[in-house]
A and B are shown apart, each in its own frame.
Chain A
Amino acid sequence: MERPKAILGIETSCDETAAAVVTSDGRVLSNVLDSQASVHARFGGVVPELAARRHLERIEDLVDMAMRQADCTWVDLAAIAVTQGPGLAGALLVGLNFGKALAYASGVPLIAVNHLKGHLASAWLAHPDFPRPALMFVVSGGHTHLYYSEKPGQYDLLGKTVDDAAGEAFDKGAKMLGLGYPGGPALDRLARTGSPTAVHFPRPFLKRTGLEFSFSGLKTALLYYLRKWDGTAPPVADIAASYQEAIVDVLVQKAFRAVQSYPIKGLAVVGGVAANSRLRARLAERAAQEDLCLVIPPLHFCTDNAAMIAAAGWEEFRLGRSASWDMDVVPNWTTFEPAQDEERSSAVLC
């Protein structure tokens, strides 16, 4: 029996070494990753040099594991998709060069994938019939980006944060409340036991008509509130819940403002913050009211993984885009425009 062709995805942009095999009809044949969390835990954040070294140690095993689990050989592959950026330069270089070498040796086309497009493509993994045109929302530690997508692989930016990302607001809020690291999940848990209306925090940019976001002022508002707080009343859970509510309010209201301004059939919310339980509940509620198809991929597709890179690889493949052998990493890639040559060379790690 002829099996559908597959794409091998490789992801090493930050602290997960990941490989996955995804077929043309969106089946995930394998999706493996090695989390470096234990390597970076004592630093309280990702150390670029250590990340790169760990990727180097693990990449070969992970790719081998992904291929074996998928029961795949090189002839089954339509392409090899690698993350080109944004991310840590040294970390990206490992995956990109490994993928490049594999593609060259096996004669399989190479595809360069923007990590953010990977997150966007995870909607397709979760829901292969995800309707378009769609509104697609990336909410993570590094991004709060709202896109309009007419068809797979094509994304127009409608708005983004002018300062901190939503995930950063969660993390820094948690830090101020003394909740440890990683702060987002801890804040989510604590907030479940608190009242979201106990303290009023500002809803930055909500009165403005555009689709830009800002979370820096909210962080400052929490800092000022905590300076005056006596440490007992209201309970810390109420403050956490109220702070979280301010972030979630802005995210939900802005997303649905965009829903009303564009002819949209589906809404996808991707990225690490999509794991927040309050955000999920509020989105589901609004989507039901508006009769909109809402897709929030399961957690293992929301956090960094290689299945989403393979999925985005398929989108690029179908649009006829492949990478040349001199393709290089783009660590600070801020748009979806193809990386310029000049930009590329300057982006190389010295």
Chain B
Amino acid sequence: MSISWQLRLHSTRATERLGSQLARFMMGGEVVALIGDLGVGKTVLVRGIARGLALSPEQVTSPTFTLIHEYPGSVRLVHVDLYRIDDDTALRQLGLDEYYDEHTVVVVEWADRLASDLPPDHLAIRLEHVSLSTRRATITAHGPRSQKVLNQARASDRASRERGRARPNKDDVS
């Protein structure tokens, strides 16, 4: 059984905020499968995840040239891009298995290439273009660990909206 949360993001700040909102509830061991076109805000979302994990978001860049980026911290962030990999042998040789552990949040772009090799418990985030500045995010939790993160993030989002002053930054972790 998987649950989904869909929301509209009206700016890059909103995209970053979503990342940070989710990451605040990650303890390490989570896997995020990030799906979306070029220019849809994947790197921005990962910046938010870095912020939520109390890592400096400034250092996050797209893993375009080097396929795996690592950001050490009390919870480590690993950001992977599988866009150009299309053969199974290459995928296996990438050695992704070595990055999954209880102290690491692994974000995989184009995770559909992994198919059944993707850990069963993962949070799938799909970003889609709605207009030049607006995106639609669909977040689906697969497995209990991801579900917990999604529930907490959603509850916190709802609470801040109810307070009626859901401004970016205010409830971000410093």
- A residues near B (Cβ < 8 Å) are 14, 42-50, 88-89, 141-142, 163-165, 167-168, 171-172, 175-176, 181, 216, 219-220, 222-224, 331-332, 334, 346-350
Contact of A46 among B61, B66, B71, B93 (CB under 8 A): B66
Given contacts A44-B83, A181-B84, A346-B73, whether A223 and B64 have CB atoms under 8 Å apart is: no
Q: List 20 A-B contacts (CB under 8 A).
A: A14-B65, A14-B66, A43-B94, A44-B84, A44-B85, A46-B67, A47-B95, A48-B67, A48-B70, A172-B39, A216-B44, A219-B38, A224-B129, A224-B132, A332-B56, A332-B59, A334-B58, A334-B59, A346-B72, A349-B70
Given contacts A47-B94, A347-B72, whether A168 and B64 have CB atoms under 8 Å apart is: yes
State how many angstroms separate the Cβ of B53 from the closest Cβ of chain A. Answer: 13
Q: Mark B107-132, 1 if CB is under 8 A from A, else 0.
A: 00000000000000000000001001
Q: How far is the CA of A278 from the CA of B88 in the complex (A)?
A: 39
Given contacts A43-B93, A46-B67, A47-B95, 4 further A-B contacts (CB under 8 A): A45-B63, A47-B93, A349-B72, A350-B103
When distances are taken between beta carbons in the complex, the residues of chain A under 8 Å from B95 are 47, 49
Tell me if B98 and A45 are in contact (CB < 8 A).
Answer: no
Interface size class of B (residues with CB under 8 A): 35 or more
Which partner residue on chain B sits nearest A334 by CB separation?
B59
Tell me if A171 and B64 are in contact (CB < 8 A).
Answer: yes
Q: How far is the CA of A334 from the CA of B93 in the complex (A)?
A: 30
Does chain A have a CB within 8 A of B24? no
Q: How many A-B residue pairs have CB under 8 A?
A: 95
Tell me if B61 and A165 are in contact (CB < 8 A).
Answer: yes
- B residues near A (Cβ < 8 Å) are 12, 37-39, 43-44, 56, 58-59, 61-68, 70-73, 76, 81, 83-85, 87, 90, 93-95, 98, 103, 129, 132
When distances are taken between beta carbons in the complex, the residues of chain B under 8 Å from A141 are 64-65
Q: How far is the CA of A207 from the CA of B18 in the complex (A)?
A: 29
When distances are taken between beta carbons in the complex, the residues of chain B under 8 Å from A88 are 66
Of B44, B62, B87, B132, most buried by chain A (CB within 10 Å of CB) is B62
4 nearest A-B pairs in the assembled complex, by CB-CB distance? A44-B84, A220-B39, A45-B67, A46-B66
State how many angstroms separate the Cβ of B39 from the closest Cβ of chain A. Answer: 4
When distances are taken between beta carbons in the complex, the residues of chain A under 8 Å from B63 are 45
Which partner residue on chain B sits nearest A346 by CB separation?
B72
Contact of B38 among A89, A167, A176, A348 (CB under 8 A): A176
Given contacts A42-B90, A332-B59, whether A175 and B65 have CB atoms under 8 Å apart is: no
